[in-house]
Amino acid sequence: MAKLIVFTFLIILISLPFAGCLSEKATLPATVPSTNDESSNITDMRGIQVKVPKNVTRAAVISDGFVECMMISLGVQDTIVSVGTTITTNSTCVIPSVKGENITYENGQNTMLYLDPSLNNTIRLTPQQYNVISYETLASSNPDVIILRVGDCSVGWDNRDTMNKTIETMEALGVPVIVLYSPTYYSNSDLSSIREEMRIIGQIFGKEKDALELADYIQSTEKMISDRTKDIPEASKPTVLYFGLSPNARKAGGSGHSWGVDTPESYTIEGIVHAKNAYRDTGTSKILNTEQVLTMNPDIILLATSWGYHPARELYEAPYYQNLKELSAIKNKKVYSMPWTPSNCARRLEYPIDLMITAKACYPEKFQDIKVHEWVLDFYKHVYHVDDETARGLRSVQWLDWMEEEDF
């Protein structure tokens, strides 16, 4: 196992002009040759062949939960020694109501933390804020491999030059770096790249067959939804606004954020569920003002995690959204809340839950045989190999109990 000397590298880091990259290539830190001579050549999503120890026992994971949850599913999460995401033990959401009472949601948790609370004690590689990797901390965690998911929140990825320098800096540590590209990385992406991410993670830990079986299961939900909705006439397709209610957007004079037609969110709506994205512009997390939302007047609104969790009641009852009360989706009670997904800039392992909520919201008659609140329990049990009690607990901490309350 490599023993990295990090103090020399720390001195180099002081001169960094931008967190996460170097202006010049750093001198390689001294290393001790690994005692594990067996290795595998793994081709990552850059198309680069990386030599990785066959028996990985220490993994640094820079992701928002996708990689970590995949490792939990494969039963190898005990190898995680450092993570790039910010993990909160519990989350609370308090929303004012025009009815004179606060709407409070408590005990929200990241999926991976609920499934493995010990991850809360794992070394953080972004201790201060997103996009600021501590390379000293990364080196001192002494990993056998670094798994970096480009497209997630933990590292700034929208500037390709900066991203490449970040990867070069990690490689300069003398540790193998496996780079994954989330769907957000691509322009006009579908979700097919997630299967390749899953396969590579499985390959790293010698569980490629298990990873592909899980990918097949997850993709079967996509296919089922697509098959049921693919023949919907164009005139019968509802318009759907994927909406992030954000205090930051309100401070900027808007109502919230939305995602354009070139995003994975739009592909979910149009490419799988076969509805229409109400927001016809391009780009990720664009701020919409009140007039834009009223003009779109969507049939259905899906509330994504956006600087916090947002229940349907916020759009119905919060005083700062009363200017949207004439929207058809609000009048017809067609507002649906997505799972609480803290630190999630890209699609996660549980994205089929988002698909099922979207599909049932758009075409209830096509999915009347599926109770999503029951389906999601089976999904958790299959993906994470948990019992019914744990699955119910996970549904609750993801703030999805509204589905059971409404028999959705």
The confidence score (pLDDT) of residue 7 equals 34
The confidence score (pLDDT) of residue 28 equals 32
The confidence score (pLDDT) of residue 341 equals 85
Tokens at 293, concatenated: 């939302």
Query: What backbone torsions phi and psi does residue 175 show, to the nearest 5 degrees?
Result: -110, 135
The confidence score (pLDDT) of residue 393 equals 97
Q: How far is CA 122 from the centre of its chain?
A: 19
The confidence score (pLDDT) of residue 37 equals 61
Q: Which of 265, 333, 332 is nearest to 304 (CA)?
A: 265
What is the enclosing helix (H) or strand (E) of 277? Answer: strand 276-277
Classify domain 7-87+122-206 by CATH number: 3.40.50.1980
The confidence score (pLDDT) of residue 129 equals 54
Which residue is listed with tokens 């933990």?
A: 154
Q: pLDDT 10s per residue in the chain (408 long)?
A: 443 433 333 333 323 332 222 222 233 333 333 444 689 999 999 999 999 999 999 999 999 899 999 999 999 999 999 998 766 678 899 999 999 889 999 999 989 999 999 998 899 887 655 567 889 999 999 999 999 999 887 665 667 788 888 899 999 999 999 999 998 888 767 889 999 999 999 999 999 999 999 999 999 999 999 999 999 999 999 999 999 998 889 998 999 999 999 988 999 999 999 999 999 999 887 899 999 999 999 999 999 988 889 999 999 999 999 999 999 999 999 999 999 987 667 788 999 999 999 999 999 999 999 999 999 999 999 999 999 999 999 999 999 999 999 999
Query: What backbone torsions phi and psi does residue 97 show, to the nearest 5 degrees?
Result: -130, 145
Which pairing describes strands 145-150 and 177-181: parallel, antiparallel, or unpaired?
parallel
pTM metric for this prediction:
0.88
Q: Which of 285, 281, 272 is nearest to 243 (CA)?
A: 285
Q: Could you please report the per-residue DSSP string of 233-276?
A: -GGGPPEEEEEE--HHHHHTT-SEEE--TTSHHHHIIIIIS--E
Q: Where are the beta strands (DSSP E) in 45-102?
A: 49-53, 59-62, 80-83, 91-95
In angstroms and rounded to an integer, the radius of gyration of the C-alpha atoms of the chain is 22
Which pairing describes strands 335-337 and 80-83: parallel, antiparallel, or unpaired?
unpaired
Q: What is the second-level CATH architecture of the domain 230-373?
A: 3-Layer(aba) Sandwich (3.40)
| Per-residue pLDDT reduced to its tens digit, 268-323 | 999 999 999 999 999 887 899 999 999 999 999 999 988 889 999 999 999 999 99
Q: Where in the chain is the domain with CATH 3.40.50.1980?
A: 7-87+122-206, 230-373
Measured CA to CA in angstroms, residue 141 lies from 57, 137, 148, 160, 404 at distances of 12, 6, 15, 26, 42
